[in-house]
Structure 1
Amino acid sequence: MVRADARENRARILEVARQALAEDGGTSMNQIAQRAGVGPGTLYRNYPTREALVLAVYQLDLDRLIDAVPAYLESHPPVEALRGWTTELVDAMRRKHGLGDALSPGLHQSITERSYGPVIGAITRLLDAGKAAGAIRPDADPRDFLQLTGALWRAAALPEDRSQPMLDLILDGLTAGTGRRTP
């Protein structure tokens, strides 16, 4: 069983690392330990490599995102739940790609593989709620939706953030009509 102070140290390290790496992907492990108020030994005992720390930071974001789906569905109509959750997904994708120097190609691939299934599951749950309510087209596919969100995080990084207008277009397409269109 992990002691309470050890859990608090891990949580503080992850939050500090999340912020520090988002600001500067080159932030050193020692700088993160210092900002978290722990010794380097504590940091390295919990996260023996930089990649382990970066992966834990991303996993924290992913877990929070996946865990937020029920709350969105409880507090918003299905399309608005999808909108709010997707905005958070875009922010998480932007943070992941903003880590830049902190992500090796292998770690980037590992993160993608690790996150794909849970993210598709969350999108499926949101789309299914909308389909059940008659608010989202029955042919909406979570894989297609995830592909489209890739353009949203890039649009959010532009000098004029275009992610919300683009999300409006995507959602309009998901809510238009009742089924597959024929040419």
Structure 2
Amino acid sequence: MTDPSARPVRADARANEDKLLAAAALAFARDGAAATLKQIAKDAGVGVGTLYRRFPTREQLVDATYRYETSRLAARTSALLGELPADRALRSWMSDVLDYLAAKHGMADTLKSLLQSDERLGSRTREQLTGAVEEFRRAGVTQGVIRQDVPSRDILTALAGVTLVAGTSHQREQAERLLDLLMDGVTRSNGWRGDVERPAP
């Protein structure tokens, strides 16, 4: 499927699109499959006609939202590394991943068919997220706070394992504890305390 967001748009249209995609991610995380396009448009502060002109079908909206959220998550590395030491930046990003997966779970039914029909979509997601982890890992190795012998793919795989066993909203506290255990194995100091100060999104 062609990425709907790939079409050139005016600056004001792009701003509306970003509002719609951000609102869609929140709605899918909050309401799951029950999220309605009408409510998403309302949350974004635009008319439902604006939504349908940009995303004529629910499938197109899910596709664009998934790509948007993946890119946004991958792009968080620079901001986090600019505000926190690399180990704490990575830990904060891991919590962002939990939020990302909440939206992904809410789009699960439609997203499953999209991933099956476009294998490149899944592989591109893995590449983007692995690249983000690698940025944290390299910075952490340079700063002496992250182990050099732990590949970024292993960190991402372990993170995926946490989300697999504790990926629902009511398991959030458990997931955060498991992320602290993961960080204890990734960092060079023993006894990761998990007292992460998370900057505002």
Q: Under a length normalisation based on structure 2, what TM-score does the superposition of the two structures give?
A: 0.74
The number of equivalent residue pairs is 175
CA distance in 1, matches of 2:175, 2:52: 38
Comparing 128-137 with 108-117, which one deviates more in the overlay?
108-117
Contact 2:130 2:156 in 1 (8 A): yes
CA distance in 2, matches of 1:74, 1:128: 14
Largest Rg, 1 or 2: 1
CA distance in 1, matches of 2:152, 2:132: 9
State the partner residue of 2:16: 9
State the partner residue of 1:173: 185
State the partner residue of 1:128: 138
Deviation at 1:75, TM superposition (A): 1.2
Q: Over aligned residue pairs, what C-alpha RMSD do you find?
A: 2.4
Amino acid at match of 2:126: Y
Amino acid at match of 1:150: A
Q: Under a length normalisation based on structure 1, what TM-score does the superposition of the two structures give?
A: 0.81
Runs of 5+ unmatched residues, structure 2: 1-7, 190-201
Aligned to 2:33, what secondary structure does the other structure show?
coil
Q: How much identity, in percent, do the aligned residues show?
A: 36
Q: How does 1:46-125 map to 2 (within 5 A)?
A: 46-103=54-111, 105-109=112-116, 110=118, 111-125=121-135
CA distance in 1, matches of 2:106, 2:56: 22
Runs of 5+ unmatched residues, structure 1: 178-183
Deviation at 1:39, TM superposition (A): 3.7
State the partner residue of 1:181: none
Amino acid at match of 2:177: P
Amino acid at match of 2:47: V
Contact 2:37 2:48 in 1 (8 A): no
